[in-house]
Amino acid sequence: MLRLILSPSVGGTAGYLYDTAASIASSGGEAVLIVPEQYSFAAERIVLERLGTADAQRVEVLSFTRLANTVFNAVGWDKGKRLNEAGKILLMSRALEQCADKLNVYSRSADSPAVVRELLSLNEEFCQCAISPEDMTAAMNNMEDGLLKSKLADISLVFSVYDSFVSDGWIDDSRMLTRLKDKILESGYFKNKTVFFDSFRGFTAQEFGVIGKILTQADDVYAALTAPDIVERDSDDIFYHTKNTAKKLIKLANSVGVPCAKPVMISDPNGNPALDAFSSDFLSPEAEVFPGACGSISIVASPDIRSECAYAAAHIKRMLRTGEYRSRDIAVIVRDEASYIRPMLTALAKCGVPVFEDRRQPVINQPLMTLVRAALKIADTGFDTDSVLRALKTGLCPLAADEISDIENYTYLWQINGSGWLKKWESSPDGFGEITENAAAELERLNSLREKVVEPFAKFRGKLKDNDGEGCAKAVFELLCELDTAQRLKDLAIYLEDSGENVLALETERLWDTLCSLLDVAAQTLGKTPVKASRFSRLFDLMLSTVTLGEIPHSLEEVTIGSAQRIRPIAPKAVFVLGANAGKLPLNPVQGGMLNAGERERLAQAGIETAIYGEDRVAEERFIAYTACCCAKEKLIVSYSSKSARGEELSESEIITFIREHFPQVHQTDTLTADKIDLVEGKKPAFELTAALMRNGGELYESLRKYFEKDADYSGRLASLDSAAEGRTFRIDSRETATRLFGMNMNISPSRAETYYRCPFSYYCRYGLKLQENKSATFDPLQKGTVIHFVLEQLLSEFSAQELSELDPDERYEKIRGYLDSYLERFLDRSQRSKRFLYLYERLARSIDAVAARLADEFKNCEFRPIDLELDISHNGTIKPYNLKIPSGGHINISGKVDRVDLAEIDGEPYVRVIDYKSSGKPFDVSDVLNGLNMQMLIYLFTLVSNGKARYGDAIPAGVLYMPAKASAFTAERGKDLSKQGNPNDKKMQGFVLENADVIVAMEHDGDGVYIPARIDKDGNIKGKTLDLGELSKLWDTVDENLVNMGEELHRGSIPALPAQGKNYKEICSKCEYWNICTHENNMPARELDDNRKLGEGDEEWESSGRLISSTR
């Protein structure tokens, strides 16, 4: 007999159903409880708790799948290999590929993974709906020609091929219930048994078929449904879906001649007036306003999903902390899993709440699967560097982490890809330049690592060439064996377990078995079918998309979290429903897949009932919302967010509106204005709150701060917060530590001083921590400048100024080309360079020749002659380093290289100037030097004057000049001297010269200022960028003071993120490679430069040492 048990309360039938089962078991009878798959664990727990160990053995808890397996085992029918989801998708892909040329609608999509998935989904739906191929053929025969008929023809053809593959020794779970229906009577499994169906919202056509057979064999069949009655109403009825299920069950019982008892109506109110009123009138337009207090229902509004989850997690922790509820009494229900599950799990973890997630996790991004996918990509497309590194970084290959980093750095440096992995690496690990002894040793080590990486994957790639499905699967397994992946996975699992990550450790152990199962399926389903590497790679991804890992609850004391569609909490006392936004709960269903709602309607008219769609889907979603919101026994908290995870504006759900209108005394909370103390439910959220309150302070902030100051785990983090709040005033507290880091005696270059005064924190990162950004060896402006320097050095070394000015232009150009070829062979490894690189390199010859022509023309009009090129200032160099004493202890030694040193004798006195080649403009402003910037060439000039007497005599500084080492593009006229053509600005050097007419004329005979930044006008007055010896003395003092001050500040550990900001120093942070460490923003403090500052200004007691004045004769 069919017995319907009805109750409008979610779970309201449980008491009656389990009591009946207990009565049967206690009297010696046998019962079978059939529940949805995800509810089986909970059902077994309830049976054990209610019936006790002895009687529980008489009640078997099954899902439909477990029932099928049980019956098949009983009748001895389980012939064939079980086809899992991975096998199904492979066979469906093969079927689609095989009949692609015969398809009309889907012919161009035969290789699309999405179409394969859609076809498999539709096939399973048709199986569940008991739609046979004959049904489809009959429907097509009665249809007019059109898109739907063409679709059905394609689908029918693909399904027939798929069925032929399945019939070749496979058992498809999708058809299991169809077979089960035919075996139930033969098995006699349900004779003398009472059957209970619980927690189902509805049944598929397949399941109805099985139920029909059970009805004819079992003593009684009880079906528990959530509905107040079976009176039919329109689709707006919340219980429309379950009432329709009841109607179908009664019809089914009548069709097999089984009587139906009068439905048992159970009224199981919570005893909570507000919750009872809410469930009985849920979303009803006729609901009356609830007059009393309703502390059992709450509404929470949040600005975003993260805040919503954080508030809910803190609320749950407070319930546990105060003893109001146990973890098992609480359920968190969402409808939008993608947006809510991760943030909520994170929030609960921060609060230290034990949680069971009722969701399975995909495995496609697990390290083992990533390794195989990367290997297959290599087999398909070659040694793509991204794929190789992806494989190495899984940690499942025989390379250590630092070795992988070294490999990555080298491949990035030289942009190695594809066949570059198969050749011996010959370029220096240090970039462009000659290979030093250390670099050669490192290169040998890197090549050894390269061979270790390439060998197994190259062998694997060879095996996959012209192989079949079975062979490809075998090759994958052999690769993993060669890499010793199984042992590495075990080691990883042990490490995770030792680290307290037991869940991850268990997942890691299961991954190997999962992969081996996938390879077995691939070998068995593809067999000897020829499969290219690219095809096998796509098929493997398809298989992975079907595999998920689930977990069972670790203990009975866990909060349950899951989707409203699948979660089955056991009589939860407190329920949190998150994401109650319009269109999200109830969900506005979107009919996707291969058949739209209109096409399904036409099929229904043709007698083919597919899965529910249209209004029925809407009705089901309203029922899902009902079960989510009305399963709480004592407390219901419904929350919503104002913005989605993507920042889209959201509005509240009709559920929120309904509660507000019909429960006017409901407790409402806005997390923006709520008392922040409510969030203090765990150290992590409390510390996050401390950070959030830091700007405005307050009593709560001070209390939290005092707590964390005493906490050893958080005091350091609090100090970091303080540092951040103070505008990134980074510093090293210990002078001893700072001195050890930067050195008591500092050996620096002028460019280091420039870095410090641009931003001290940048100096700390680069020269203290020695952090360097990965850069590829590209022919960038810096490298071009190096080449130009080399060529000009070679040219001026081979030819004197006089010889260069008289050199034939064609000969000069050929010389330049020769120097470029020499540099290319010595430092750039011509054989390793691309055609594009060589093309850009060759173009340099004309540009450098234009600069050389300008040099030759200048030398014709200049008394200054090059004395030194690439002058080495160092302890072992031509000139000793510039040395300054730091008052607090130690010295600063400044070394470097000067591009060019020119000397001239004027009235018997030696005058020296320094030249710096610049491929881009370099303005010179005294104000920059006074601010500690642009001191490099002045430091060199003063070093030559003080330490170069043996080489230059008592030389007088004549100036600092920045020579343009790059000519602007112009159309040259044949037969004309290049030096007379082009942009005049390309000839003028930036910098300054000594304010001395004789010096200016010595630099440029006519004094017109064509080449230098100074001139003599017609009245004999000096114009332009000049400094007299007194001003130079003051600058010298200022440079010394700046350098000593830098040394003192570094020894004190002062390294603030305080970028310089002035007319010549703009947007420093945007070009800084350390910005993502200090995260300095535009509105944060910067060192504002006084661009109008002049020598002597702002210091009434300014006194120059007069060192230059006193040394002149």
Q: Which pLDDT tens digit goes with each residue over 219-269? A: 999 999 999 999 877 767 899 989 999 999 999 999 999 999 999 999 877
* Residue 43 and residue 135 in one domain: no
Report, as an integer, the average pLDDT of 566-571: 80
pLDDT at 728: 55
Of 857, 853, 963, 959, residue with least CA distance to 906: 959
Torsion, Cα of 197, 199, 202, 206 (10° steps):
-50
In a domain, 459, yes or no: yes
Q: What is the pLDDT of residues 511-540, one digit of tens each?
A: 899 999 999 999 999 999 999 999 999 999
Q: Is pLDDT of 393 > 90?
A: yes
Cα 184 → chain centroid: 52
* Residue 1018 and residue 950 in one domain: yes
The C-alpha angle 736, 737, 742, rounded to 5 degrees, equals: 100
In a domain, 774, yes or no: no
Can you list the pairs that 432-435 forms with residues at least 24 positions away whose Cβ atoms lie under 8 Å?
Answer: 432/777, 432/783, 432/786, 432/827, 432/828, 433/827, 434/826, 434/827
Terminal Cα-to-Cα distance of the chain (whole angstroms): 126
* Residue 381 and residue 402 in one domain: yes
CA distances from 1049 to 329, 748, 760, 1045 (A): 60, 15, 9, 6
For residue 1097, name the pLDDT band (cuts at 50, 70, 90). low
pLDDT at 840: 78
* Domain harbouring 629, CATH code: 3.40.50.300
CA distances from 278 to 171, 375, 1025 (A): 47, 57, 86
Provide DSSP, 283-313: T-TTPPPP-S-EEEEEEEEESSHHHHHHHHH
* Residue 845 and residue 879 in one domain: yes
Q: Is pLDDT of 455 > 90?
A: yes
For residue 1099, name the pLDDT band (cuts at 50, 70, 90). very low
pTM value?
0.76
User: Which of 412-416, 707-711, 723-727, 746-750 has the largest mean confidence?
Assistant: 746-750
Q: What is the pLDDT of residues 790-799, one digit of tens each?
A: 888 898 899 9
Share of the chain above pLDDT 70, in %: 94
* Residue 530 and residue 569 in one domain: no
* Domain harbouring 475, CATH code: 1.10.486
Q: Is pLDDT of 1111 > 50?
A: no
Q: CB neighbours of 316 closer than 8 A, spacing ≥ 6?
A: 330, 332, 348, 351, 353, 559, 574, 576
Q: What is the pLDDT of residues 59-77, one digit of tens each?
A: 999 999 999 988 988 887 6
Average pLDDT over all residues of the chain? 88
Q: What is the pLDDT of residues 945-994, one digit of tens each?
A: 999 999 999 999 999 999 887 655 445 555 555 445 555 556 789 999 99
Higher pLDDT, 855 or 901: 901
Assess contact for 334 and 563: CB atoms under 8 A: yes
Secondary structure of residue 260 in the 3-state scheme: strand
Distance between CA 180 and CA 209 in Å, rounded? Answer: 9
Report, as an integer, the average pLDDT of 361-384: 91
Q: What is the pLDDT of residues 1005-1037, one digit of tens each?
A: 999 999 999 999 988 899 999 999 999 999 999
* Residue 569 and residue 644 in one domain: yes
Assess contact for 5 and 16: CB atoms under 8 A: yes
CB burial class (10 A; 0-12, 13-18, 19+) of residue 649? exposed
For 981, half-sphere exposure in the C-beta direction (CA atoms, 13 angstrom radius) is 14
Assess contact for 43 and 33: CB atoms under 8 A: yes
Of 862, 802, 804, residue with least CA distance to 1005: 862
Q: Is pLDDT of 409 > 80?
A: yes
Distance between CA 351 and CA 305 in Å, rounded? Answer: 17
Report, as an integer, the average pLDDT of 880-884: 96
Q: Number of folded domains in the chain?
A: 6
Whose structure tokens read 């019982």?
Answer: 253
* Residue 1035 and residue 1064 in one domain: yes
pLDDT at 970: 47
Tokens of 595: 């058949």
pLDDT at 175: 86
Report, as an integer, the average pLDDT of 588-597: 84
In a domain, 703, yes or no: yes
pLDDT at 977: 52
In a domain, 937, yes or no: yes
Assess contact for 251 and 232: CB atoms under 8 A: no
* Residue 617 and residue 539 in one domain: no
Assess contact for 862 and 1000: CB atoms under 8 A: no
In a domain, 419, yes or no: yes
Q: CB neighbours of 737 closer than 8 A, spacing ≥ 6?
A: 1053
For residue 102, name the pLDDT band (cuts at 50, 70, 90). very high
For residue 718, name the pLDDT band (cuts at 50, 70, 90). confident
Can you list the pairs that 117-122 forms with residues at least 24 positions away whose Cβ atoms lie under 8 Å?
Answer: 117/89, 117/542, 117/545, 118/593, 118/594, 119/92, 119/155, 119/158, 119/159, 119/594, 120/88, 120/89, 120/92, 121/593, 122/155, 122/593, 122/594, 122/595
Of 352, 356, 332, 341, residue with least CA distance to 553: 356
In a domain, 735, yes or no: no
Assess contact for 640 and 308: CB atoms under 8 A: yes
Distance between CA 449 and CA 698 in Å, rounded? Answer: 58
pLDDT at 77: 64
Q: Identify the domain containing residue 486 by its residue range.
A: 367-549
* Residue 1017 and residue 942 in one domain: yes
Q: Is pLDDT of 1075 > 80?
A: yes
In a domain, 869, yes or no: yes
Q: What is the pLDDT of residues 121-173, one digit of tens each?
A: 999 999 999 898 888 888 888 888 889 999 999 999 999 999 999 988 888 88
pLDDT at 1025: 93
* Residue 1017 and residue 1002 in one domain: yes
* Residue 306 and residue 201 in one domain: no
Secondary structure of residue 859 in the 3-state scheme: helix
Tokens of 1054: 């002062």
In a domain, 674, yes or no: no
Of 617, 590, 614, 610, residue with least CA distance to 152: 610
* Residue 942 and residue 1032 in one domain: yes
Report, as an integer, the average pLDDT of 598-614: 87
